[in-house]
Amino acid sequence: MTALTLSTAGAATLRADALVVGVAKSPKGGKGLVVAPGAEAVDKAFDGKLATVLETLGASGSEGEVTKVPSPSGLKAPVVVAVGLGAAPEKDEAYDAEALRRAAGSAARALNGVKKAAFALPVEAVEDAQAVAEGALLGAYAFTAYREKGKDAKGPLAEVALLGVKPRDKAYKAAAERALALAEEINRARDLINTPPNDLYPESFAAIATAAGKEHGIKVQVLDEKALVKGGYGGILGVGQGSENSPRLVRLAYTHPKAEKTLALVGKGITYDSGGISLKPAGHNETMKCDMSGAAAVFAAVVTAARLGLEVNVTGWLALAENMPSGSAVRPGDVLRMYSGKTVEVLNTDAEGRLVLADALTKASEENPDAIVDVATLTGAMVLALGNRTFGIMANDDAFRTSIHEIAEEVGEQSWPMPLPADLRKGMDSPTADIANMGERMGGGLVAGLFLKEFVGEGITWAHLDIAGPAYNEGGPFGYTPKGGTGSAVRTLVRLAERTAAGDLG
């Protein structure tokens, strides 16, 4: 994992292999590049012509644009890396934290194989320092576990030195510690999402969670297939019965002696989703190792809360199964008796995520938490509605939904509040069972949310995050977001836990 250090050294005097500075487009009405605060000494080393040099090389200051130039005499670092911040803020305004986060991530991605880079981006407050640190640490990510180790292989940036901060200031130290813990756990979630399904299956995922629990003082309970049968978890068992890899339900409990609130997080953990008997066609199943991204996010959020020592109780539920076709697989038309006692007619075995989540939501509700949030790569319909970078938020409480949306915006995760129209519920009526696992095709993401709502305990505040779009990036990397698993929703969940600890659950 990339190391993070705080330094009071000037940009011109710190010894590093590369020096990262920010450039931006001129404010409205202006022309050309603007050198961002933090790079004054670097600009001086270029005789005040850094912007001119960069413009000559084609730099425009666009967000995420990276331009490398050899350093002139007067700088200890041999290379200057100028990263675009987008439009410069108006007078008396600061750069947006997300712009700083993305710029730092873009620069870090461009520095693979480099031992140490100094980041001299605009840092006017603790929040800015935290954003730069997060972006750099998240950008310095590479999944190389399955690549042959050779002399030409380049690992991610080894060390980030953050300039323009106060290393001895408690607030800055706390911000750095938070950024490091958060980034390390998001990157662990990314590793899990990127791990091939022949190596990551319910039992192995549960073992990883158990090991992390021992390391960070988290109580872990694993229900194996025998325990699931005894407990009557028909949803999880039904989805997993077609696979040789049996399902698991994992409970992770972080508690704090001063906590006054309890937050329950539930994650969909389909370690591979073939669709089951309702088999996915070619072109739709190649990336389905990512169908456990919700469980990875919940796991990462609980561990981060423990590492930060938040004064809130956080319980994570990982509903783990592998959805495979076989002679023992659940069939369209089968009826499952869920943990809640409700019966569900399975009309489509590829609508399996809601079945494992339903059992986990019921179980989580028994502990009567102050709020439940489930996270899942649940529906293609949500991707059609919101695209590949935005997750949908549904809830049984409008204020809670709004709060989560605001939190997501605050931490830089794109999201959008979605409704739960009561008229769509009728489409899930079944002539055989209490409810069907499918309803109207149009509004399918909302139908899935309505299904889950049926299994939330009465009087418990609940929200559902459908991260099907942003959980796995099949395109090129951008900002601090890599190709492959992204760790979507972890930052939102951790910030929600922090707000809950502060007495602001929403």
Q: What would the two tokens of residue 16 be?
A: 């590093």
258 has catalytic annotation: no
Length of the chain: 506
280 has catalytic annotation: yes
Residues 6+ apart with CB under 8 A from 310: 256, 497, 498, 501
Cα distances (Å, whole numbers) of residue 480 to 93, 113, 255, 399: 24, 17, 31, 30
State the maximum Cα–Cα separation within the chain, in Å, rounded to a whole number.
Answer: 80
SS3 assignment, position 230: helix
Q: Which residue has the tokens 């022309």?
A: 31
- Spatial distance between the Cα atoms of 234 and 340, rounded to a whole number of angstroms: 9
470 and 486 in contact (C-beta within 8 Å)? yes
464 and 449 in contact (C-beta within 8 Å)? yes
Q: Which of 76, 166, 173, 280 is catalytic?
A: 280
Cα distances (Å, whole numbers) of residue 477 to 141, 331, 493: 11, 39, 23
φ, ψ (nearest 5 deg) of residue 270: -85, 100
**Per-residue burial over 158-176, b = 16 or more CB atoms within 10 Å of its CB, e = otherwise:** bbbbbbbbeeeeeebeebb
**Per-residue burial over 55-79, b = 16 or more CB atoms within 10 Å of its CB, e = otherwise:** beeebebebbbbbebebeeebebeb
- Spatial distance between the Cα atoms of 74 and 14, rounded to a whole number of angstroms: 11
Q: What would the two tokens of residue 491 be?
A: 């930052």
- Spatial distance between the Cα atoms of 15 and 248, rounded to a whole number of angstroms: 50
81 and 96 in contact (C-beta within 8 Å)? no
Q: Which of 25, 116, 307, 354 is catalytic?
A: 354
Query: Could you tell me which of 309, 362, 315, 353 has the C-alpha nearest to residue 471?
Result: 353
SS3 assignment, position 239: helix
Residues marked active site are found at 280, 354
